[in-house]
Every structure is written in structure tokens, then in C-alpha cells.
Homo-oligomer: A and B are copies of this chain.
Amino acid sequence: MTSQYKASRFMALPERPTPAYRLSGMCLPAPLSVGELETFSAISRQISPLRKRQTLFAQGEALKSLYIVRCGSLKQVYRDITDEAHITQFYLPGEVVGLDAISTGFHPGTTQALETTSVCEILPEALEEFSRKEAAEKGGNGCFLRVMSRALHQERMMVRLLLNRTSDVRLASFLLALSTRFRQQGYSPFCFRLSMSRSDIGNYLGLAVETVSRLLGRFQDLGLLTAKGREIRVDDLDGLMALADGRARQSIWHAGIVPPSSCRLAGMPAH
């Protein structure tokens, strides 16, 4: 492990690429950076908020616009020929929705609000105009391409995360990704509310609902977090990260139930 590079936690830095990847926290797409968000905001317009369960677009619908999530969250569901539904992505604030429809011009999956959600619409005309200008100025490596490339990279990391990893690593990674996202949005990374059901999480991570439930219970026993319905409080972030990175000593089922370290609640609001 060559050491010439310092590992940034979740993402290679442009100036100094991470030579090896940390999988934890790769469970969700990264939001746009502040600069990108500004860029896109300039060419987007807000549309009326979606209510819970309302769809932004349905599978098979023609691509009209791309969207950026402002607040709230959505899930994207691909339905296959056996009529099974697969949740392929959760979209949180700052994320671009609809990129996977560009190739065919039709949305490959239904996208649906998990709670009251507001999104901005990027009209195709505005995007074209923007691309034209951008291309003229900077050549092919536009902002938009970078966003797509990042999505591709992250989807690849997701595959690897889900593929060889055990259920506990997957769930820990997912929770960490959420925690990171909440921090980025200025919310507490320790206390948050899941907008998706256990069943959605299980579907997304390729686990049975029962497994998700059991794991949450087990995480709680281990003092990693406190879960009450959809409210999550992270009690031991380091422990959760160790688990997600595969650095955990052993299977969580064999681990004795350790009393939580005294410092774990430091600085946290009691919920």
C-alpha cells in the first residue's frame, strides 16, 4: 500500500487520487458539490412538491427533464419481467435524478417520493444551451459528464460492496452513507430518521426484511446504535465504520455484547 497518497475517506481527491478504495459509505450516490449545485440551479426551476408516494415519473415514460432533489427523498424502482420490483437507488438532496434515461430516452424505472419532497427541474432546452456553452468554453469534460462518470463509478463501488460482503457490512455501510449525507446537509450525522421502510432497505441491499430487522437489533445489542422505529441514533460511529470496512474482529453474532464505551454519546443531544 503505497502511502504516497493519503486516503480521503470516501472519495478520491482530484489532486491526489486514493490508490485503494474504502467501500464503506459507498451505498448512496454523492450529492452535487456546491459549485455544481450552483451551476445547475441556474438552469433549473422549482416544481411543486411531491407528496409521499407520488411519482416523479413512471417506468417507460419518455425522458422530459432531469431533476435535482432539493429536500426530501425518492426511491427508484425497476420492475422486471417476473414482476419483481428492485429498488436501484435512493435519491437524497443534491442528487441528480434521471441520468439513466439518457441512453434510451425513456426512464428505466419509476421514481417515487418517500416523503414530502421538492425537486428542481432541469429543462432539456436549458441543459442543451448550457452544454453548448460549456463545450465551447472547456471542451468535452463538462460538469455534466463528470456527474455521470461519478454516478457510474459509484454504481460500480456499490456492486462490489454488495457482492462479497456479509449482510452486517452492507447495512452498516448503508447507515454510514446516510449519516454522511445528513452531515453534508447540515443535519446531525448521529440522529436521523429513515425515510424508507425496512423492506425498502432490504430490497436495496439485497437482504430479506427479517435480516434487516435482526441486524438492527443486533447493532443495538452491540451498542453501535439505537433504533426506535425509523429513528436512528448512532452511538458508536467508529464501531460502525470498523464493521463497514470489514475491520471487525469477527462475525457480529459471535461477538460478546460489550458495554458501550463511555465516550460514545459525547456531544450528542439526547433524543
Contact = CB atoms under 8 A, between A and B. Distances in A.
A158 B206 CA distance: 12
Contact of A160 (B88, B100, B104, B247): B88
A164 interface: yes
Contact of A78 (B82, B108, B135, B156): B156
Q: Which bracket fits the contact residues of A?
A: 35 or more
Contacts of A141: 102, 124, 128
A204 to B, nearest CB: 9
Interface stretch (A145-153, A177-185, A230-238): A145-153
A103 B150 contact: yes
Nearest to A141: B102
Nearest to A145: B102
Interface string A1-45: 100010100011110011111110000000000000000000000
Interface of A is mostly: mixed
Interface string A105-134: 110100000000000000010011111101
A217 interface: no
13 contacts: A14-B105, A21-B108, A22-B81, A82-B245, A100-B152, A100-B153, A127-B140, A128-B141, A131-B140, A132-B139, A134-B135, A135-B135, A136-B136
Given A17-B106, A100-B152, A102-B141, 8 more contacts: A7-B81, A13-B104, A14-B106, A19-B60, A108-B156, A128-B139, A135-B136, A155-B155
